[in-house]
Amino acid sequence: MKIISGILKGRKIAGYDIKGTRPTMDRVKESLFAMINPYLDNSICLDLFAGSGNLGFEALSNGSRFCYFNDINRKCIDVIKKNSDDFKMDDKVKILNLDYEECLRYLKDHDLKMDIIFLDPPYKKECLNMVIDKILEYDLLNDGGVIVCEIDNNYLNSTLKTLEIIKERKYGDKYLIIYKKTSL
């Protein structure tokens, strides 16, 4: 697994083999980052179910200013720290080892808002509708910001009043859905 573009292009990402994670395939990641390219420059990101940090580090490589990485798995946290050290990105990351609900509360309690939120939970964990509801309830996404969802089915609540689907793609058994926050 490698960074596919930007200042870290070609650098290897540790952690492709962590039990319970499924890294985003390079062709899916390449397509995803082409779709969100206009939102990357100077953005603040959250990689909520980070695994190895693959998506967050790709965002940092392509112009994001800062990324919050979160995962409940301690092995994932160790790998994210290693990747951050290897890429010399420690000043651009904050790594959290929390349950996803605790992470969202942490961000709310610290008045943090994101420009890009990556949601790629374990496929058997059907929590995305609740996560998106909490992101909106806690006002964690800036106006014009995007939520990037990678899921194994295309069932998501698409009637959220402040979000509109701007891109939707199917790659084998995976779906990418990108929501953009609009002002009321």
- Domain presence at residue 116: yes
Q: How far apart are CA 180 and CA 95, in angstroms?
A: 25
Predicted pLDDT at 171? 83
Structure pTM?
Answer: 0.93
- The SS3 of residue 92 is helix
The whole domain housing 75 covers 26-181
- Domain presence at residue 47: yes
Place of tokens 């609009």: 182
Q: For residue range 17-60, what is the model confidence (pLDDT) as tens digits? A: 666 555 666 778 898 999 999 999 999 999 999 999 999 999 99
Q: For residue range 59-103, what is the model confidence (pLDDT) as tens digits? A: 999 999 999 999 999 999 999 999 999 999 999 999 999 999 999
Q: How far apart are CA 16 and CA 79, in angstroms?
A: 10
Q: Which residues contact 70 (CB under 8 A, 6 or more apart)?
A: 46, 47, 48, 49, 50, 95, 96, 97, 98, 100, 103
Sheet holding 93-96, edge to edge: 93-96, 66-70, 44-47, 114-119, 141-151, 174-181, 163-171
Q: For residue range 119-142, what is the model confidence (pLDDT) as tens digits? A: 988 755 678 888 999 999 999 999
What is the β-pairing status of strands 93-96 and 66-70? parallel
- Domain presence at residue 14: no
- Domain presence at residue 12: no
Domain harbouring 90, CATH code: 3.40.50.150
pLDDT band of 182, cuts 50, 70, 90? confident
φ and ψ of 47, to 5 deg:
-110, 90
Q: How far apart are CA 120 and CA 55, in angstroms?
A: 9
Q: How far apart are CA 20 and CA 17, in angstroms?
A: 9
Cβ burial, residue 7 (10 Å; 0-12/13-18/19+): exposed
Domain count, the chain: 1
- Domain presence at residue 19: no
